[in-house]
Amino acid sequence: MQGKHKYKDVKFFLIAIAFISAFNYYLTYSNIRFNWFLVMTYTIDTVQGWLAWWAVRSIVIYLDKKLPYAHQPLKRILIQLVVTTVAGLLIIILLTELVSWIARGRGVPLSFYLFDVFIFIIWFIVINGIYIGMHYYAEWKQSEIQRQEEKKLRIGGFNIKHGNQNILVAFGDISGFFVEDGYTILLTWQNKKYFPDKSLDKIEDMLPGELFFRLNRQYIVHRNALTGFKRTGDGKIDVLVNGPANFPKAIPVSRTRAAKFKSWFQHDDN
C-alpha cells in the first residue's frame, strides 16, 4: 500500500497546524494584541509549520517504501522520529532566522532555542504519533476487508480441482477432511471423495472456524458430524463422531487441543 493511498491527511494537517500555530502563541506570549503585526507573524509561522509538516510527511512516505513497519517496527519508528524531528526543526529554525534577519536585521533571541524549539519537538512527536496511528489503522482496516472477503468465500464453499474441472463443494455438503496413505481427502455426507492438492494445515486456514475443527494431524471434521466427547485421562479426550463410514466413531484429541475443542464445541461461535 503506497503512502498516498494510506494517508488521508492533507486537509487535517492544514487545519491542525494553523491551530497549533495559534496555540503556540498562547503558550509563548502572555499579552497578545490583535493587530496587523500579529496577523503577519501568525501567517509566517503557519506557513513555516506547513513546510515543516510537508517535509515530515515526505520522509514518512519515503520510509514506508524503504523501511516498512512490518520488518522492524521499533527500528522504523525510532528512525522516523529522529529524522523527521531533525528535518522539521532545521526548516523552522532556518526560516525563522531568515525572517528575523529580514525584518529586524538580527537573529532570533536565545529564548527561541531554549523554549520554542522544545515546544516544536513535542509537536513533531505528536505528528509522528498521528502518522504511526494512521498506518496501523490502515493495516487494521485492510485486515477487516480481507476478513469480510474470506467470510464471503465461506458462504460459498471449498474450491477443488476434479479432473479437468474446478468444483465448488458447499461447506454444508462437507463432512470433513482426512489423510489416508499420504493423500488428503475431502469427504461429503454422501461418502463422495475428492482429493484436494493441499495439506490439512493449509486447508484448515481456508475453512470457517465456526463449522470445522482440526481434531488431530489426520482429521478435520464438520460440527454436525460430532455428537460429543469423553475423557480418556491425562487431559486427553475422544471426540465422538456420527458421520460417514470413513470416519471412526471416536477420534482422539491431545491434551493441548482438548480445552480448545471443548470451548469450540460447547459455545457456538456465531
3-state secondary structure 53-69: HHHHHHHHHHHHHHCCC
Q: Whole-number mean pLDDT of the chain? A: 87
Listed in sequence order, the residues at least 6 apart from 208 whose beta carbon sits closer than 8 Å to its beta carbon are 151, 154, 171
* CATH classification for the domain delimited by 163-266, as one of 3.50.50.60, 2.50.20.10, 1.10.287.70, 2.40.50.1020: 2.40.50.1020
The residue ranking higher by pLDDT, 42 or 136, is: 136
Tell me phi and psi for residue 18, to 5 degrees.
-60, -40
How far apart are the two ends of the chain, measured CA to CA in Å?
A: 32
> pLDDT for 245-266, tens place per residue?
789 999 999 999 999 999 999 8
> pLDDT for 39-62, tens place per residue?
888 888 889 999 999 999 999 999
Cell of 119: 515546544
Distance between CA atoms of residues 151 and 161, nearest Å: 22
Contact in structure between 184 and 200 (CB atoms under 8 Å)? yes
> pLDDT for 197-243, tens place per residue?
889 999 998 888 889 999 999 999 999 999 999 999 888 999 999 87
Distance between CA atoms of residues 260 and 144, nearest Å: 24
Grid-cell match 487441543, residue found: 257
For the chain, the structural domain boundaries read 3-153, 163-266
The residues that bridge with 160 in the sheet, in sequence order, are 167
- State the CB neighbour count (10 A cutoff) for residue 89: 15
